[in-house]
Amino acid sequence: MAAEAAVPALPNGGAGAPSGTVPVLFCFSVFARPSSVPHGAGYELLIQKFLSLYGDQLDMHRKFVVQLFAEEWGQYVDLPKGFAVSERCKVRLVPLQIQLTTLGNLTPSSTVFFCCDMQERFRPAIKYFGDIISVGQRLLQGARILGIPVIVTEQYPKGLGSTVQEIDLTGVKLVLPKTKFSMVLPEVEAALAEIPGVRSVVLFGVETHVCIQQTALELVGRGIEVHIVADATSSRSMMDRMFALELMKRK
């Protein structure tokens, strides 16, 4: 368990505390499932509940930390030392680290391809755009052969155009417009929740240091392993591309 966070914990109960069970929302990756635990349940019981809810989706090669949603901060914090459930709360299980031996192992049944903003208006501005289109075509062909779901986004298509014609979108799961950098839109989260056991995302498109980077960071934060296809992603500047790939490599 992580070190104690410097935030107030929920009350631990005591004399006069209600008996019975307490409702708890258990979150993992893009999933959130309501359940309940006995009043006064601590870390071990929370872990057992996560295992009962998500055991078939947890990678036992990983280490995890339990975090509590702190209303006063508006975000998750590491579970305070000695925490005991005394009132309705929301907790999540977050991968702490990944063993190097698991990296690179992709299974079609637990993988989704993300194609990010491969649009016509970017053609003259993005370095080696023709090359990344060619690689992107092969990736989507492979996804169709293997039955891997594909999610495609288009950044403000009214102004920047649709996905280039060379990219065949036949059979893709979703094509969504967006006006934010990350591909992790509510519709994308809902689509991932419909695919049981999603573990890995293969990500490619433009621009490496903006939409690709933000998407990767959000997915990693949700416990999903991200694989960037380096020769299928680019930016206006090769320096931006290089630094973005270096940053993501460290995450």
DSSP count for the chain of H helices, then E strands:
6, 10
Residue 211 annotated in active site:
yes
User: What distance separates the 2 farthest-apart alpha carbons in the chain?
Assistant: 70
Out of 116, 211, 240, 251, the active site residue is 211
Q: Which of 155, 151, 193 is nearest to 174 (CA)?
A: 151
The one-letter code for the residue type at 53 is L
Q: Are 114 and 82 in contact (CB under 8 A)?
A: no
Out of 27, 49, 115, 117, the active site residue is 117
Q: Is 82 exposed, middle or buried (0-12, 13-18, 19+ CB in 10 A)?
A: exposed
Residue 131 annotated in active site:
no
Q: What is the torsional sign of CA 154, 192, 102, 25?
A: positive
For residues 204 and 207, what is the distance between their CA atoms, to the nearest angstrom?
9
Out of 178, 231, 249, 251, the active site residue is 178
The two tokens of residue 78 are 């590491």
Residue in this structure with the two tokens 């380096």, named with its chain if needed: 230
Catalytic residues: 117, 178, 211
